[in-house]
Amino acid sequence: MFAINENYLSLPHNYLFAEVRRRTEEYKKENPKAELIQLGIGDVTLPLVPAVVKAMKKAVEEMGEKKTFRGYGSSKGYGFLRNAIAENDYKKRGCNISEDEIFISDGAKSDIGNLQEIFSRENKVAVCNPVYPVYTDINIMAGRAGQYDLKMDRWRNIIYMECTKETDFLPEIPKRVPDMIYLCFPNNPTGAVMKKERLQEWVDYANQVGAIIFYDSAYEGYISEEDVPHTIYECEGARMCAIEVRSFSKKAGFTGIRLGATVIPKEIKRKGVTLHSLWARRQETKYNGTSYIVQRAGEATYTKEGKKQIEEQIKYYMNNAGQIQTTLSALGYTVVGGKNSPYVWLKTPNHMKSWDFFTYLLKTANVVGTSGIGFGTAGEGYFRLTGFGSKEDTERALERISALPL
């Protein structure tokens, strides 16, 4: 008789954003005339830029001609895209990353979920609190989380790095030594950023204790400050301890066509085996490669016109985030983020619980955000709003929120 992976039974009943959708849909059924404004889930709203659309159309035409048709591609991705990433995202920043160390995928989320497969189940995992819930969920699924402690409201084998107002929403080196460390900056959900000097401390620590850092740089395109690194490989020694996952979803609006990349330097080894070789072998078996059409779209984001058009989109979303940050601050809310990130992290008023504030905002202002507790216990009493909505929706949402009593 077959058995199931019972680790899945330990997961929260709903993934956070599925729960946001469920509660929103339930309210819409009960109130069909309500005009809801979505500022919760971090999905983009602007269409693909013209340079990308042009490249995709050309690629589709190529696929319709015998001479230029392409079947299965490399599981690592086409060289034209890997070279573009290496040149523009790394070498121009002084980082020695070769195209052979870059693996193309259908998105950062998939890679983050799958990378843990090449690591031992016995490894101790460290995550920020609050945190993008995928980092915790994938390790629950793999059996690394241990038992759930109801009294402490956390997993016993997970090392939680508290990111609170007192720590400037940045993690501190944990007392328990981890083997796998998940970092995401600019941060989701808080919007906090880590300066290069502070990130260097984490790289030094990982090398000292023999840990691996999974660095999620999904929002690096939104960084505006000079002393904030766009990649962990700007830090000395990162090639010995860090895997970086990149996304085209938020930076280029690819949420609907799916494209990401993972960088694994060849220096990272255990017992003489490189992580690069393990991941390459895993991908050869389990992944047939990202669509040629989508990879040509990714290449177009690095052209002169593509870069300019994407910069305009980022500016549009950051104007929204800045407006949210400025308006809420003026109303008396305690707010962080919105400067190097499209996310704004606010303290709920009057000691209100996160889900209670979600319901309050939904019912009184018809505005949908994301409950902070869904990102971890340190998110209780906080709430996330996103700048990914339209300019008009953002302005209307802020008008409605401004009319509410604090």
For 31-89, what is each residue's pLDDT tens digit?
999 999 999 888 999 999 999 999 999 999 999 999 999 999 999 999 999 999 999 99
Cβ neighbours of residue 78 closer than 8 Å, sequence gap 6 or more = 104, 292, 295
**265, 239 Cβ separation under 8 angstroms:** yes
Question: What is the value of pTM for the model shown?
Answer: 0.96
pLDDT bucket at 282, cuts 50 / 70 / 90: very high
Say whether pLDDT at 166 is over 80.
Answer: yes
Say whether pLDDT at 145 is over 90.
Answer: yes
What residues pair up with 335 in beta bridges, in sequence order? 346
pLDDT bucket at 15, cuts 50 / 70 / 90: confident
**Domains within the chain, CATH numbers bracketed:** 6-47+305-402 (3.90.1150.10), 53-302 (3.40.640.10)
Structure token digits, residue 102 = 């870059």
At residue 17, the pLDDT reads 87
Q: How do residues 98-109 score in pLDDT, each as one tens digit? A: 999 999 999 999
pLDDT bucket at 152, cuts 50 / 70 / 90: confident
Q: Which residue has the higher pLDDT, 150 or 322?
A: 322
Q: How far is CA 344 from CA 206, 323, 386, in A?
A: 30, 10, 6
Q: Which of 56-60, 148-152, 333-337 has the lowest mean pLDDT?
A: 148-152
Count CB neighbours of 171 within 10 A: 24
**310, 49 Cβ separation under 8 angstroms:** yes
**Ramachandran bin of 385, using left for φ above 0, alpha for ψ from -120 to 50, beta for the remaining angles:** beta
Rounded CA-CA distance 131/229 in Å is 20
Average pLDDT over residues 385-391: 97
